[in-house]
Amino acid sequence: MPVKLAPPDPASLLPVPGVELGIASAGIKRPGRKDVLVMRIAPDAEVVGVFTQNRFCAAPVTLCREHLHAEGGVRALLVNTGNANAGTGEEGLARARATCAALAGQLGIQPAQVLPFSTGVILEPLPHDRIIAALPAAIADLRADNWAAAAEAIMTTDIVPKAASRKVSLDGVEFVVTGIAKGSGMIHPNMATMLAYVATDAPVSCEALEAILRYAVNRSFNCITVDGDTSTNDSCILIATGVSDNNPPPPVLMDDGDARFAPLRDAVTEVLVELAQAIVRDGEGATKFMTVRVEGGRDEAECRQVAYAIARSPLVKTAFFASDPNLGRILAAVGYAGVDDLDVDRVRLYLGDVLVAEHGGRAAGYREEDGRRVMAESDILVRVELARGDAAATVWTCDFSYDYVKINAEYRT
C-alpha cells in the first residue's frame, strides 16, 4: 500500500448520535484556513482523556485536566490549530480560560464543561480574540455528519486528514465508533504532537471508558514514533454518549465485567490503531512505513526499548529513505538499546521474510539483492528475535528524508 493514504471517504465516517461538530476559520496562522473546531456533546455522556507527559505541557492541557471531571460533565470540545498555547505561562492559561468561557456562554453551559485544545507553534501568545470571534460560525455549522470536515480542520503539517469508523454489535445492538486525529511531526509515545477525538454512542461507565482508552492508547498512539520528540500538547479524548438511537434510555451502562466490554474495547482499539498508523504514514517527509517487531524478550518493556532504539535511529531511518539495505545500522541500534546482558550471538534480524543476521553476523544465506527487494517496498517489516523470553512489542515508524528537514526548518515561514 502507498505510504500516504488517500483522504478518508466522508461517507465511510459514521455519525455518532450525541456528537455534533462545527468548523470555522479564525485566521490564526493563515487567513481563510479552517482552524477552529467545536464539538458539542450530549448531556450525560462520559468523557475521558489521556494527555502529554511533557512537563512543559500547554495551557489547554492544564485546563483539560482541571475540567475533565467538571460538575455536570464535559459538554463541548474547542480545538484550534496554528498556535499551541504552550510555553505561554499564566497569560496562556487566562487566554485558554477566556475561550472556554466564550464558548460556554454561547452554548448555555459552564466554562468548566468545555475542554480546550491547541496545536501549532509553541511560545507565542494565543490569539484568543480571533478564536472567540469565530465561535458563532462554528456553532452555526454544528452537524452530526461533519467528521470529515473536522478531520481536515485540525490538521497542521498533516498532508492527509485522518479519520476512521467502525460498527460494533453488542448483544445484538449496533453501535458506532468514529474518530479523527492530527499529527505528523513531534511524534513519540506518551504521546505524540497529536490530537485525537474518538466517540461512540455505546453506554459506558466512566471507569470502563478509562480502561478502554488506556488499553487502546497503549496499543496505538504509544506505539508510534516519527522523530522521538514528545509534544507539549498531546491529547486523546474518548467520548461515550450513550444516546444511541438503538439504545432506549435509560441505557444500561456497561462496566468492565460486561460481556459487551471486550468487543467495544477492540473496536475502539481498531479505530485508534488506524489513526495512529495514519499519523506515521503522514509523518513529516515520510516515504516509507516501517513496522518494527521485537520478539523473544524477557518482558514487553525491553522489547519496546529495542524497537524504539531502531525506530528512532536517524541512521536507520536515512538508510530506509535511501532503500539501502545497510542493515548493520539496525544491529548497532539493537546493540545500544540498553539491554545490558543481551547475547548478540542469539539475536536474529529479519527484513520482511528475509533472514539477514544471526550468530552475531550476516546470515549465511543472505543475499544483498534479497535485502534490496524488501527495501524497495513502501511498507516494510523489520523483525528482531532476541531469543531470551516470550514477550514481544511492535512499534510503527517512518523513514527520515530531505523533506523532514525541509518541513521542520521552514515550519514558521
Please report, as ranges, the residues that interact with a copy of itself according to CB under 8 A: 53-57, 84, 86-92, 121-125, 185-186, 188, 227-232, 312-315, 318-319, 321-322, 324, 326-329, 331-336, 339-340, 342, 344-345, 357, 359-362, 400-402, 404-406, 408-413
Cell numbers at 320, concatenated: 530506509
Q: What are phi and psi of 117, to 5 degrees?
A: -140, 140
**Cis-peptide, bond into residue 250, ω within 30° of zero:** yes
Query: Closer to a copy of itself at the Cβ: 228 or 263?
Result: 228
Q: Are the C-beta atoms of 238 and 205 separated by less than 8 Å?
A: no
323 vs 394 by CB, closer to a copy of itself: 323
Q: How many whole angstroms separate alpha carbon 200 and alpha carbon 18? A: 9
Q: Which of 119, 193, 287, 397 is catalytic?
A: 193
For residue 153, the minimal CB distance to a copy of itself (Å) is 23
Q: Give per-residue burial for 371-404: e unless 16+ CB within 10 Å, then b.
A: beebbeebebbbbbbbebeebbbbbbbbbbbeeb
H helix or E strand, kind and range, residue 351 = strand 348-351
Question: Measured between alpha carbons, how far is residue 119 from residues 158, 337, 408 in Å?
Answer: 12, 32, 15
Nearest distance, CB of residue 123 and a copy of itself, angstroms: 3
Q: Can you name the residues that pair with 380 across neighbouring β-strands?
A: 290
Residues 356/380, Cβ–Cβ less than 8 Å:
no
Task: Check if the beta carbon of residue 242 is closer than 8 Å to that of residue 43.
Answer: no
CB of 93 to a copy of itself, least distance (A): 9
Task: Measure the CA–CA gap between 403 and 331, rounded to whole angstroms.
Answer: 26
Q: Report in angstroms how near the CB of residue 51 gets to a copy of itself at its nearest.
A: 13
In the bound state with a copy of itself, the residue whose beta carbon lies nearer, of 2 and 360, is 360
Q: Which helix (H) or strand (E) holds 269?
A: helix 261-281
**261 vs 400, beta carbon nearer a copy of itself:** 400
Q: How far is the CB of 56 from a copy of itself (least distance, A)?
A: 3
Q: Is 230 a catalytic residue?
A: no
Euclidean distance between CA atoms 23 and 38, whole angstroms: 6
CB of 296 to a copy of itself, least distance (A): 15
Q: Which residues of 324-358 are buried (b: 16+ CB within 10 A; e: fewer)?
A: ebebbbbbebbeebebeebeeeebbbbbbebbbbb
- Per-residue cell: 398: 517512518
Q: Can you tell me which residue has the cell 514528545?
A: 230
Q: Looking at beta carbons only, is 24 or 382 nearer to a copy of itself?
A: 382
CA distance 360 to 138: 60
| Minimum CB distance to a copy of itself smaller for 124 or for 174 | 124
Q: Which is nearer to a copy of itself, 359 or 367 (CB)?
A: 359
Closest approach of Cβ 253 to a copy of itself, in Å?
35
Catalytic residues: 193
